[in-house]
Each structure stands twice: as structure tokens, then as C-alpha cells.
Amino acid sequence: MKKKTGIAITAAFLLVSALALCVCGTCSKKARLADGDWSGSAEGRNGPLELVLTVQDGKIAAARVVSESETDFAKPAEADILAQAVKKNSADGLDVVSGATITSKATMQALKAALAKAQGIAPAAAAPTGAASCDIVVIGAGGAGLSAATEAAGSGATVIVLEKMGIAGGNTNSATGGLNASETSVQKKLGIADTNEQYYQDTMKGGYMLNDPELVRTMVEKSAETVDWLMGLGADLSDVGKMAGSTNKRTHRPQGGGAIGVHLVPVLQAAAEKAGAEIRFNSRVTDVARDGSLFAVSVSSGTGDYIVRAKAVIIASGGFGANPEMVVRYQPGLAGFGTTNHKGATGDAFAWVQKFNAELVQMEQIQTHPTVVPGNGLMITEAVRGNGAIMVNREGRRFNNEMATRDVMSEAILRQTGKTSYLLFDQGIRESLKAIDGYARQGLLTEADTLAGLADKLGMPAAALEESVASYNRMQAAGNDTEFGRAGSDMPRPIATAPFYAVEVGPAVHHTMGGIKINIAAQVIDHDGAAVPGLFAAGEVTGGVHGGNRLGGNAVADITIYGKIAADSALAYIKDK
């Protein structure tokens, strides 16, 4: 991808704005910014992102990205972050742009690096090198790893988290739907009837009964307490929606239907650090081995190679969706597919665990997500469909039940002209789901005041599109989709309020459902069926929870629940060590 330059934001601050900053304490708490141009850099989704801040009269006067390799659709996110920084005269308290989390965080990191230079603050010390020791090493600072670190450190263990990327979150950063859970305090408060048994049956059915029943049962039965645990840490899970494959509303997310990942990762990272966990970024694990009664975890960082010794290890390093060679090895039919995964999802752990005779299960079970923007890997949350959107092909016709499971919907899209389709919705649906605003800010949406105008922009027959929407609205009002069998409860609102919106989408590699075999205690299981002492795993690096297809909302449930379980099991293991 070619380098891009030239994003610039400027602002003139009124005197009252400057005074307000001082009244709020900004002036007294932070060193004055030195005038001049100050550079900062961070690792983005596709490579280094570099920017320059211009400081005049002690305030940020301008900010511009001078070099990056992000997608065209990420440029508005960069501009948005820079605009916030200029307005606030700070890099603190900035809002991540939904759908461009990694780019947003990289821009924030680069801003902070530049501001530190302007304040005369020396760069933070590099991650420690040489020998280190702790009770528990957690490999990976995604949702599973941060959940494990929070639980373990909060229970008094010394914890070192090793994250090979420059930011926390992994694929959790891109999670948009929510967290599935049943019989929760939130559901009860909202009057939503749901049961653990129905959640279990939905998950098993969605996975074509290939799931490990015990793993699913454990996830389901611990889901409600995990929602309470996360809310206790500060997470907002007060909105409950419905995803494809779920009988009832059970997808917990921030108020208004905001994206779950950009909200949850900072909550978990802050909780882990507050509990005392040490998170080391840009620290790539290259091997895990026995060293007497301990584990020796080999690490490669920008400042050198070193070893961390620990009594127990929790592997939470994610899947392999960004490793096309490995994807094709297990699923040749996915050759040439794009991916929603961040670039660090390369399946490193599968090589480390071989020496422990660890069993890998269902590696061929790789899920595609049906609504990914072609060419850039940006995923449109399933909640858009759950809130009432339909999908049409280039001929302006619906072609499937939009709430079918991801694999079914992906296959249906690939049968259409051009192997993509259009997600179609109106202003009412947009207002029902905050995540859509993030897509608009990135320029992903095509908009028109009429369906005919939208059809013209998309190059499809206007009459066909108008009839498709009119037919859908009639069936929605009747609560009966006689064309494709979409349930009445899955058609919550008509598509009738201008403006109307569309975004082109198609399938991309999304979730690798196979991985390291674990039991309900998150212990790594070897080929003989025995647990490997002291070795635990959680999240997308494991296999068995999702079977042949993962339901939307189950990944965040899986990573948080089994991350916490892995920590509890590791704590029990080290108790007598």
C-alpha cells in the first residue's frame, strides 16, 4: 500500500477556551508545551504512523499525519483524532472511532509521544530486559489475556503480560456486536426473558453440534456472573440486542448499541494495571519451555531478547486469521480472501505448544464474516441487521434471510453478482445503533434522500430496489417474512425514514474457531487426554467452544469467561508451588 500524507487540522483558540483549560487544572498539572514542531510515531494497523504537532504560544495549533500506510477508510479516523486533540489541547480523553480502533489508538499514541517531547518529558523506559520472574505469565493482551491478568493480579499473584503488538486489545479492538449472556441482571431489569438452556441450545445449533458441550455449558452458566464482574470493573453493558442465531435478546453492549471492543479493552487494561499486572508491549514470545519446576518464556523485544520465568503460563495469543498461509493450509477454499483480523493474529502459539504434546482441534473450522467492506477488512457489525437492515444484490433484490448464521449468509453473498452485496437501512435504524455513526465518520456509507436516488448512486434498478423495500416493509408490519423466513422478532422496524443508506459488503476471514484443546478449567490438554500441568489457554487460540460456526456475541463471552477461568485455575495451581 502506498504511503499517504497531508492530513492536517488547525484551530484558533479563543481566550475563554484557554482560561477554561486552566480552570479545569490542565495548566497547573501539565508542563507547558514548548513552541515548535514535534514529531511522534506509533505502530498502526498496516505499519508505522508518523505525525507532527505544531505548538504556538504553548498550545497545539496544528496536527498532521506525515507518513502512514493505513487504508483510505482510516484517514477520517486519523483526522477525527487530530481534531479532538487540537480542540482539547491534549491527547487525553480522546474518543476512538468505531471500526478504526487500531488506527485511532496508533494516532493517540503518536500524539502522546509528540506531546511528551514538547513538554520536555523523556520517553518512557523500555520494557525490562534480561531475566525476570513472576507467578503467572499471560501471553497476549487481548480480551482473554486482560481478563486473565485482571483476575490473577487482583487475587494477589504477580503477573507479567507479554504483548507482541504496540497496543492492547488484539482482535477484541474490532469487536462491534457485544457479549452474549443469559439470565443476567441486565436482562431481568429490562424485562427480557431468556434462559441458560436456550442460550446453550442456540450455541450448539449454531455450531452444527460440533462444539464441545461441556465448554459451551460452562460458558453459558458463567455468562451472567461475568457480565456482573465486567460491570463491576466499569464496563457499560446496559443495552441488550439480538444477533443472528440467537432466539432471544442476549447481546450485551454499551448504551445505545455502541461497539463493545473499543469500550471494553480500555476498561480491562485499566483494571489489569490497577490490580498490579505489568503489561509489556512490543514483546513477542518466541518459545515456551520447561525449566525445572518453572516455565521459561522466551521474549524478543526492540531492546533485546530475554526470558521470563513463571510458575504458570496462560496462553491468550489469539487465532491465525491474519496468517494466510496457515488459513489456506487448513481451508484451501479461502485462498485470496481478505481478513478482519489485526496483523498480529498469526497463530504463533501453535508452534510453542507442540513440545508439550498439546492437541489441536477443529483447525479447519474457519469462519468468514459476511459484512466486511471489500478491500480494507473493516467489519460492519451484525447488530445493523439485528436492528432492522436488509441486504440486497446488484439487481436490487433481497436474496436471503439476513439473520441467518454467518456461514450461511457468507455463502449466499458469494452466489450474487460480483460476490458482494449491499447492506441497506434508513435513518431510524441508524439512530438505533451508535456504531453506525463510526461507519459514517469513515465515509463508508452511501446516502440519498430517496430509495431511487440511492439506487442511482449504487448503479442498480430503482424500481427493483423500491419494490424490495416496500415488500419487506409489508412483511415487517405483518410480522411474517414469506420470502425468506426472517422471524417477526428479527424485523424490529421498517425501512421508511429518509435518508437511506447502503454499504457494500462481502465475506472475509473473521474467526479461527479451532485451536488448542482445553477443558472446562482452561487447562491445555495433550494427545493422551491429560492436562499439561501449569499450562492454560483462553480465547481464540483455543478450539472447541464454537464448533462449526460461531454466533455473533459469543467471542466476547468466550474470551472474558475463559480468560477469568484460566486465571482462577492458574491461581489454584501455583498455590502450593
Cα separation, 139 vs 149, whole angstroms: 10
423: helix, strand or coil: strand
Cα separation, 93 vs 109, whole angstroms: 12
Which amino acid appears at position 76 of this protein? P
Neighbours of 25 (CB within 10 A): 9
Neighbours of 380 (CB within 10 A): 24
Residue 308 grid cell: 521470563
Residues in the chain: 577
398 is known as an active-site residue: no
Cα separation, 19 vs 22, whole angstroms: 5
CB-CB contact of 480 with 509 (8 Å):
no
Contact partners, residue 303, CB within 8 Å, separation at least 6: 126, 127, 129
CB-CB contact of 345 with 319 (8 Å):
yes
> Judging by beta carbons within 10 Å of its beta carbon (0-12, 13-18, 19+), is residue 221 exposed, middle or buried?
middle
CB-CB contact of 195 with 287 (8 Å):
no
In angstroms, how far is CA 417 from the centroid of its own chain? 30
Quick one: angle between helices 260-275 and 143-154, nearest 10? 30
Which among 398, 406, 430, 486 is annotated as catalytic? 406
The DSSP bridge partners found for residue 84 are: none
Cα separation, 434 vs 301, whole angstroms: 38
Q: Largest Cα–Cα distance in the chain?
A: 73
Residue with cell 441486504: 391
Residue 520 grid cell: 472446562
Residue 319 grid cell: 487465532
DSSP letter string, 18-70: HHHHHHTTHHHHSPPPPSEEEEEEEE-SSSEEEEEEEEETTEEEEEEEEEB--
Contact partners, residue 28, CB within 8 Å, separation at least 6: 22
Smallest CA-to-CA distance from 364 within 513, 556, 170, 524 is with: 513
CB-CB contact of 249 with 264 (8 Å):
no
b/e code 310-319 from CB counts within 10 Å (16+ = b): bbbbbbbbbb
Residue with cell 439512530: 431
Contact partners, residue 473, CB within 8 Å, separation at least 6: 494, 495, 496
Quote the radius of gyration of the chain (alpha carbons, Å).
24
Smallest CA-to-CA distance from 519 within 508, 528, 530, 510 is with: 530
- Annotated catalytic residues are 406
